Structure formats: structure tokens, C-alpha cells
Amino acid sequence: MYATTDTLATAPAAQGGRSRWLALYTLCAGMLMIVLDVTVVNVALPAIQDDLGFTSSSLAWVVNAYLIAFGGLLLLAGRLGDLLGRRNVFTAGLVVFTAASVLCGLAGSQEVLVIARFIQGVGGALTSAVILGMIVTLFPEPREQAKAIGMYAFVASAGGSIGLLAGGVLTQAISWHWIFFVNLPIGVLTVVFAVKLIEKDKGLGIGKGTDVPGAVLITAALMVGVFTIVKPAAELGWTAPRTLVLTAVTLVLLAGFIVREATAANPLVPLRIFRSRTLTGANLVQALSSSGMFGIFFLGSLYLQRVLGYDALEIGLAFLPTTVVMGLLSVRYSEKLVMRFGPRRPLIFGLSLIVVGLALFTQAPVGGNYFVHVLPVLVLLGLGGGICFPALMGLSMSDVKPEDAGLASGLIGTMGEVGAALGLAVLATLSATRTAAVADTKPTLDALTDGYHLSFAIAAAIVAAAVAIAAIVMRPAKRQPEEQSDNEDLVLEAA
């Protein structure tokens, strides 16, 4: 089933009727604000650099400061939602994110902007880490849960391409400051509606999971790990001494965290949660698929800009078909596919479409035509994402007890964030290395295209590995006769 019988039996009573869907829209609005911020800033980076005098190397900290805080705190934020109440953590995160956005918009120096971006990352982690757990609690019934998760998955996966368009429009029409200022009315309204529409949950209480050493170890490990990926690994290479030292530090911190969680009376992350093959497999698939998809959105934008000569607004418009297709499938059809075939088969099929799209992108030439060489790729990515991501989100929560919903939600978010950072660093580094290797023998545009082609091919291989894991690891468990009968009734009704 899409949600386990045990989960349904022990979940808190869901809110009634229309208010649940209004609460879902509020949660999705909060998530959209977080997701948009990532790509909207990327588009505005040249304008920020010119205005505040960033060097090319220091400019990366506008992005990295956010990623380090966001990726490092997701898991801790998810667990805090279980302990302190998920609505409390969600609204606190919105307040922090919105206030930091205003500070970013007012920033008149490099230091203020980077610090404000770090604070934004803290707020983003608190906000987004608990959303999936809240959705599962609001919609315990399988069919409604599938539809709600489809809407969430669309916002979480397609919001980035909307950010490209919004960033181009705001930066060119007004100024880069407004990519941050627009968060103020959205954030305030979202907080107001969250307080009014989402029932307050009590949480387990801080005494049920006060694991300060575990929290310090995992947060430090994730922050050091993300920093290693986005800074020394991307700039100096994976075998550079600084990269190797920081990688070793990350591994030592992770090992210490595992030992702590295995022995703590009230662990931050109970290791029993990983006994579920479905949960473990879903997180591996999330990491790999995020590695391939996030890196390609970034490098695909560079291909359109540097090779085909697109400006910021044209890049945003170019990626719009991915958003439209993904949104149509996620909101209108993903729930029907999951109820008809179960979540595993749509997951595998959707990921396979992404692999085909990425492989097709390796054929885009220097003088490429958008409708011939780019649009088919983006449509395939939209189709694949719209089919597979809602199914993946549902699978990641399907075997989770209500009291662990925030933790599982934070975990899947963490794997996606770390996977995206790792994928971007690896693909960007390999692309640049390939371009440099052929720069002496090929024209500039041909050398750039060769580098992008290599990255597109590797991204396709990474997502293909996710397909293999989904097929091998995430095999459906044997069901009890009563549960099988319930599922068959749901399938017949959906058909």
C-alpha cells in the first residue's frame, strides 16, 4: 500500500475537508519559496558580482553559504519537528528565512550578503525539512496522500526552473535586490495561513530525543561534507590534499555519529529507521537522481548561455516546458498512476525517461536548434520527473511511523541536497577538465560543448544507477491477505 496499515492506525486525526487542502497549498507555498531561491540567485549572480565587487572565486560563496547551512541542518531540523512540533518548526523557519531575505536585499557589502545567505539556509532547512512529514499526517488515506505528495513533488522538483524565469525577469526589469525582497510578502502570508490552517501538533517533547552530541556530530559532518564538495573539491580537485583531509574529517564525524546513535538512550536518528529496504532504497535513489538532475539544470543553462548565446530571460523561458509537463503530470496524473500500478513501477519508468533525455542531450551540437536538440530533452525530463518524483516521495514515507515522520522527511531532503551538491561538483569539474583537455585542438565553443556532453553522459549513467537500485532494492514486500484485498479494492476503484 502507499501508506502502511500501522501508520494509518497510529497517525493523528487529519484535519477535515477543505482546510486540509488549503493547508497543503500553504505548505507548498513555503516549499516553493525555498526552492525558487536556489535558482533565482544563480541567474542574478553576474549582477550581484558587478554591484558588490565580488571576484569570480568569492562569488561562489553567495551560493555556498546557503548550501552549507541548508544541507547541514536538514536532518537535525526534521528531528526537531518530531520533538518540538512540526508546525512550530515550519513557521519558525519561515520567519528566519523571510527576515534573512530582507537582509540579503538590503546588503550593501559582500560580507553582509554572505552572512545573510547562511541565515537563509538555516531558515530554509527548518521550513522544508518537516513539510513531507506534515503532508503524510494531513493525508493518511492512500489516494489523497498520493495526490498531495504529487503536488509537493512538483513544487520541490520543478520550482527550480520557475526560479530561472523569475530571476531573469526580476534582475533585468528591476534589480537583483528584488529577487530577495519578493520573499517578504510571500513569507508573511505563508506564516499567517500556516498558523490559521495547520493544526498545531504537540511533538514528542525535547526529553524524548535530546541527543546533543549526536546533533553536533551529524550537523558538523554534513556541513563539512557539503563545504568539501562545493569548495575544495570543485576548485582544487578530488585528489587535492585539502579535499582529502576534509573528506577524512567528514568520514570521522560520520563514524562518530553512527557510534553515538547506536549507543544513545534517546538517539537523534534511531538507526532502526534504516531497517526498511524501502526507506533506504528511496534515499539512495533520491541522492543519485538529484545528482544527475540538479547538475544538468546548471550545466544545461551554461550550454544555452555560452554555446547558444541565450540571455537570462531566454534561459528561463527555455526551461519552462519542463515545468509545465512536470506540473501537469504531478498534479493531475501521478496519483492515478500510483494507485493503478503502485509507486515502484512509475518510479522506474520515470527515471528511465530521464536517462533517455540525458543521453539525448549528449547529441546537442555547437549550432544547436532549440526545438530539435533541447526541447525534446526538456520534455523527457519533465515527463520523467513528473512520473517518478511523486512516487519516490511516497515510497520514502511509506514505512515510517508517525513519530518519525519529521526525521524521514528531513532525511530524504538531506539526501537530495547532498546528492545535488555532489552531482554539481562532480559534473562541473569533469566538464571543465574535458574542456581544458581539448581547448588546444578545438575551437572554444566546440571545447565547451565536449565538456558538457561528457557531463550529460555521466549524469545519464548516475540516474541509470538509480533505476537499478529502484528495480533491485525496492522490491515490494509480501502483504498480508487482508492488506492485499484492500489494495485490490483501491486499484479497482481507481480504474
Q: Which residue has the higher pLDDT, 372 or 412?
A: 372
For residue 350, give the nearest of 395, 304, 314, 320 by alpha carbon. Answer: 395
pLDDT at residue 244 in the model: 93
In terms of Cβ atoms closer than 10 Å to its own Cβ (0-12, 13-18, 19+), residue 281 is buried
Task: Give residue 31's Cα distance to chain centre.
Answer: 10
Q: Which three cell numbers stand for residue 58?
A: 568569492
**What does pTM read for this prediction?**
0.73
Residue 59 grid coordinates = 562569488
CA-to-CA distance for 138 and 148, rounded, in angstroms? 9
Residue 475: the pLDDT is 66
- DSSP class of residue 430 equals H
Tell me the pLDDT tens digit for each residue of 141-200.
877 877 887 788 777 766 666 666 676 677 666 778 888 888 898 899 999 998 888 887
The model's confidence at residue 247, banded by pLDDT at 50, 70 and 90, is: very high
Q: Who contacts 414 (Cβ-Cβ below 8 Å, separation ≥6)?
A: 71, 74, 75, 78, 222
The pLDDT, as a whole number, for residue 13 is 42
**Does 420 score more than 90 pLDDT?**
no
| d(C-alpha 33, C-alpha 27), whole Å | 10
The predicted pLDDT at position 174 comes to 77
Specify the DSSP class assigned to residue 53: T
Q: Could you give the CA distance from residue 201 to residue 191 in angstroms, rounded to a whole number?
A: 16
Q: How confident is the prediction for the chain on average, in pLDDT?
A: 80
315: cell is 534561459
Reported as a pLDDT band with limits 50, 70 and 90, residue 248 is very high
* 326-350: average pLDDT: 81
Span 77-93, pLDDT tens digits: 877 887 788 889 999 99
**CB-based burial label for 495 (10 Å; 0-12, 13-18, 19+):** exposed
Task: Tell me the chain's radius of gyration from C-alpha atoms.
Answer: 22
Q: What is the pLDDT of residue 172?
A: 66
Q: Tally DSSP H helices, then E strands, for the chain.
A: 22, 0
Q: What percent of the chain has a predicted confidence (pLDDT) above 70?
A: 84
pLDDT value of position 102: 94
The whole-number average pLDDT for the span 260-282 is: 82
pLDDT digits (tens, 9 = 90+) for 11-32: 444 455 678 888 888 898 888 8
pLDDT at 279 over 90: no
List the grid coordinates of 478. Answer: 509480501
pLDDT tens for residues 285-321?
988 988 888 777 778 878 888 899 887 677 778 888 8
pLDDT of residue 487: 43
Question: What's the per-residue H, E or C state across 61-83?
Answer: HHHHHHHHHHHHHHHHHHHHHHH
Q: What is the mean pLDDT of residues 268-281?
A: 80
Write down how long the chain is.
495
d(C-alpha 157, C-alpha 155), whole Å: 6
Q: In the structure, what pLDDT confidence band is assigned to residue 449 with cuts at 50, 70 and 90?
A: very high
Percent of the chain with pLDDT over 90: 21
Residue 377 and residue 364 in contact, taking contact as beta carbons nearer than 8 Å? yes
pLDDT of 201 > 80? The answer is no
For 480, counting Cβ atoms within 10 Å of its Cβ (0-12 exposed, 13-18 middle, 19+ buried), the class is: exposed
